[in-house]
Amino acid sequence: MDLSGWIDTFLDHLRVERALAKNTLEAYSRDLNSLAQSLGEVTDPKEIGTEQIAALLVTNVRTGFGARSSARQLSALRGFFRFLVRERVIEADPTQLVERPRLGKRLPKVLSFEEIERLLAMPDRTSPRGIRDSAMIQLMYASGLRVSELCALKIGDLDMKAGIVSAFGKGGKRRLVPVGESALAHLTTYLEEVRPNVARPKETILFVSPRGGALTRQGFWKLLKRYARAAGITTPLSPHKLRHSFATHLLRGGADLRAVQAMLGHADLGTTEIYTRVAQDHVRAAHARAHPRA
């Protein structure tokens, strides 16, 4: 089997055995196929050495790749070649001696409490679309869902009586996240007054478009940006920034780091710890404003 064939086999392994999300699989495919394209006539994995891997990364940097993109690609390549070692296609991993690009710790950008309040107040709750939009934004901020998780929610994933949403996250893992009373109230209005009049028969997706089918991630992103502009939020706003804000505001309010990790669905506590730095920055700023000898 040639290199392209082994790439397809590895992607099948990730999809079936590890149940990776579609977007993650597409990123792996792009990173691995760029290696195949750069090698040209080299189609045997046994012929690929450290020099070819390093040359690809250098070329990518020259064409505009940042450190994070290079690190992501190297991670994909390492996973692929370790797979080939396990399958006994090659004897050694050629990426072992390639240094990982140094990444600066970039703190997540979050909205202030005041900006969140303005954003939540923007949808027109006298219109069906505004009621739906309000329920989505309220739920996303209340539970820290990823936009893909929000748009994939089904009616059965929401337990209104218990105040819990069941999210299907990365790696095919489900987690239960509490939903606050404010978000539940907006969801109740949406479920009682809007969805029954819009959703197609037998549609199980929770949030539907005016045509009655599932609302896309891109559709939610567009409406969120529109409300952000109307709320006077000048910094770029993405759905993920709501997730960042959810985590940071919980920690500022005294939430336990492990609890926040569970609600976000992070496998590694270190991924969640980045939010503590943002929360601490808020505390330091408050000290600087208020303490007489700051």
Among 15, 175, 240, 282, the active-site one is: 240
Instruction: State yes or no: is 266 an active-site residue.
Output: yes
What does the alpha-carbon distance between residue 183 and residue 145 come to, in Å, rounded to a whole number? Answer: 13
Nearest Cα neighbor of 175 from 197, 198, 153 is 153
Instruction: State yes or no: is 170 an active-site residue.
Output: yes
181: tokens are 């009373």
What does the alpha-carbon distance between residue 34 and residue 44 come to, in Å, rounded to a whole number? Answer: 15
How large is the angle between the packed helices 239-252 and 269-290, nearest 10 degrees? 70
Instruction: State yes or no: is 277 an active-site residue.
Output: no
Is 227:119 a contact under the CB 8 Å cutoff?
A: yes
Instruction: State yes or no: is 240 an active-site residue.
Output: yes
Q: What is the DSSP string of 82-102?
A: HHHHHTTS-SS-TTTTSPPPP
Among 28, 190, 227, 275, the active-site one is: 275
Q: What is the DSSP letter of 145?
A: -
Instruction: State yes or no: is 249 an active-site residue.
Output: no
Is 76:27 a contact under the CB 8 Å cutoff?
A: yes
Q: How far are the Cα atoms of 153, 172, 220 from residue 65, in angstroms, in the given order?
A: 34, 30, 28
Among 243, 244, 249, 252, the active-site one is: 243
121: tokens are 């107040």
Is 175:262 a contact under the CB 8 Å cutoff?
A: yes
Nearest Cα neighbor of 30 from 58, 72, 81, 66 is 72
Instruction: State yes or no: is 252 an active-site residue.
Output: no
Among 72, 78, 82, 170, the active-site one is: 170
Among 132, 146, 195, 244, the active-site one is: 146
What does the alpha-carbon distance between residue 257 and residue 273 come to, in Å, rounded to a whole number? Answer: 7
Residues acting as catalytic residues: 146, 170, 240, 243, 266, 275
